[in-house]
């Protein structure tokens, strides 16, 4: 069997996601595998719904198989987020295409990726960095300098370019599909397609009518029983870590550079997470990067855990009948071990990378369970099996 891949967070699944997967299936006529962030999102936030609920909702709305993107990649920059997901899709042995939503799908992302991977781009980037620009600004300016590209700064276009880069050494072909209507960071629901940001905001404000317009019915029901995470508890847990650790210990437990650990340490005196992010981001550092560092710190592991370049396993979260057939195929072709139900000693006989990545995912799940406004029990990764959706 062959399949098409999608990389997503589904935080939560909405009508824009539904449009994307329907367009992808109509275009390719292939089963669809989604690699989905688990308990923490790439923008540095805990998931609004846990991964078990989000993967169930995804397969009930047309995804055939949902695989988890480990926290070691979901809490990293766009480059590693994309690279980790692409490597997992490649490792399945059956993915031939990757479908990416983009604000400007006509952009030649493949050619741009070749330019970015060139030595000329790297030397130009270093010149701009040495002039004092932030990495993001230097990156954009180097791209404009060598490719004449303008305004490649929207979230999905940035990710589309990262996917194109990651795909260069694979046999997977990218497909770029127009992102519909709502912008990534729009905070208000206007029509029947809205950003996940706007949907989460409407949920927190109990604006059920607006949410109903923007998500499938089963997602709406799931959201009615969930109000996200306890932000006060989240900040209390994080501020405890910031007060407990020295600046050098902070640097040992998250991906700080340029003395950023000293700024994070100063944030211990803040009264909210929002205030702490504002203090540390200022003009030089993107807020998403600061939030990712805070969430990395919350996991309480060594920095080396977070700097792995390759996934160590394929973790199955949900599937339907077609997905079940894909899993049979993957058992024959996969280049990585496949995890379904966790046993009592899941790391026995596995690599150190496997053990560390799973340890991070288990910690992320347990922290998210604690942060829910209606906290759930610890150990959900051991208690839950992949969801099987039979039509």
The 10s digit of each residue's pLDDT in 162-176 is 999 999 989 999 999
What residues does each domain of the chain span? 3-107+310-389, 231-306
- Whether 183 has a pLDDT exceeding 80, the answer reads no
Rounded average pLDDT over 2-7: 98
Which of 56-60's residues contact partners 24+ apart within 8 Å by CB, and which partners?
56/318, 56/387, 56/389, 57/10, 57/12, 57/13, 57/216, 57/218, 57/219, 57/222, 58/8, 58/10, 58/13, 58/17, 58/34, 58/318, 59/318, 59/319, 59/320, 59/323, 59/387, 59/389, 60/218, 60/389
Task: Report pLDDT for 377.
Answer: 86
- Inter-CA distances, 48 with 45, 152, 201, 357, 359, Å: 9, 28, 11, 22, 21
Backbone φ and ψ of 164, nearest 5°: -60, -40
What pTM was computed for the model? 0.94
37 pLDDT higher than 60: yes
What pLDDT was estimated at residue 32?
Answer: 98
Contacts (Cβ under 8 Å, ≥6 apart) of 191:
181, 182, 213, 214
Per-residue pLDDT reduced to its tens digit, 246-269: 999 999 999 998 889 999 999 999
Q: Of all residues in the chain, what percent carry a pLDDT higher than 70?
A: 97
Does 361 score more than 60 pLDDT?
A: yes
Reported as a pLDDT band with limits 50, 70 and 90, residue 181 is low
pLDDT tens for residues 38-91?
Answer: 999 999 999 999 999 999 999 999 999 999 999 999 999 999 999 999 999 999
Confidence grade of residue 151 (pLDDT, cut at 50, 70, 90):
low
pLDDT value at position 376? 84
Q: Is 356 exposed, middle or buried (CB count within 10 Å of its CB: 0-12, 13-18, 19+)? A: buried
Q: Who has greater pLDDT, 140 or 197? A: 197
pLDDT in tens, 272-281: 999 999 999 9
Give the model confidence (pLDDT) of 281-332 as tens digits.
976 788 999 999 999 999 999 999 999 999 999 999 999 999 999 999 999 9
pLDDT at position 356 over 70: yes
Q: Residue 192 has what DSSP assignment?
A: S
What percent of the chain has pLDDT above 90?
A: 75
Q: Alpha carbon 290 to chain centroid distance?
A: 15
**Is CATH 3.40.50 correct for 3-107+310-389?**
yes
Summarize pLDDT for 100-135 with one digit per residue, the tens: 998 888 888 999 899 888 899 999 999 988 888 877
> Taking a C-beta distance cutoff of 8 angstroms, is the pair 165, 113 a contact?
yes
């Amino acid at each position: 069997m062959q399949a098409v891949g999608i990389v997503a967070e589904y935080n939560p699944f909405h009508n824009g996601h539904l449009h994307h997967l329907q367009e992808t299936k109509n275009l390719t006529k292939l089963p669809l595998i989604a690699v989905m962030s688990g308990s923490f999102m790439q923008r540095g936030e805990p998931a609004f719904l846990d991964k078990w609920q989000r993967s169930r909702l995804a397969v009930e709305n047309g995804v055939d198989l949902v695989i988890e993107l480990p926290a070691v990649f979901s809490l990293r920059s766009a480059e590693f987020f994309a690279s980790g997901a692409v490597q997992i899709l490649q490792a399945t042995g059956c993915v031939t295409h990757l479908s990416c939503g983009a604000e400007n799908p006509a952009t030649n992302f493949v050619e741009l990726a070749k330019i970015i991977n060139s030595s000329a781009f790297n030397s130009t980037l270093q010149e701009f960095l040495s002039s004092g620009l932030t990495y993001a600004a230097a990156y954009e300016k180097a791209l404009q300098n060598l490719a004449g590209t303008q305004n490649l700064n929207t979230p999905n276009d940035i990710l589309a370019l990262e996917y194109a880069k990651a795909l260069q050494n694979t046999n997977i072909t990218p497909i770029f599909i127009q992102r519909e209507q709502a912008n990534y960071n729009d905070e208000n629901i206007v029509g029947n397609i809205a950003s996940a940001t706007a949907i989460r905001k409407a949920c927190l404000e109990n604006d059920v009518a607006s949410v109903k317009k923007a998500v499938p019915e089963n997602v709406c029901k799931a959201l009615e029983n969930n109000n996200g995470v306890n932000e006060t508890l989240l900040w209390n847990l994080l501020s405890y870590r910031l007060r407990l650790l020295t600046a050098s210990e902070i640097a040992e437990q998250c991906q700080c550079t340029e003395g950023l650990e000293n700024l994070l340490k100063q944030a211990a005196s803040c009264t909210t997470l929002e205030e702490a992010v504002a203090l540390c981001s200022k003009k030089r550092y993107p807020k998403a990067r600061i939030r990712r560092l805070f969430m990395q710190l919350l996991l309480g592991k060594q920095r080396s855990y977070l700097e792995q370049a390759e996934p160590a396993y394929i973790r199955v979260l949900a599937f339907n009948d077609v997905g079940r057939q894909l899993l049979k195929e993957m058992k024959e072709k996969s280049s990585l071990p496949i995890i379904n139900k966790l046993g009592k000693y899941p790391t026995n006989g596995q690599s150190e990378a496997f053990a560390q990545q799973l340890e991070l995912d288990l910690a992320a799940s347990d922290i998210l369970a604690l942060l829910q406004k209606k906290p759930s029990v610890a150990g959900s990764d051991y208690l839950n099996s992949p969801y099987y959706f039979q039509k």
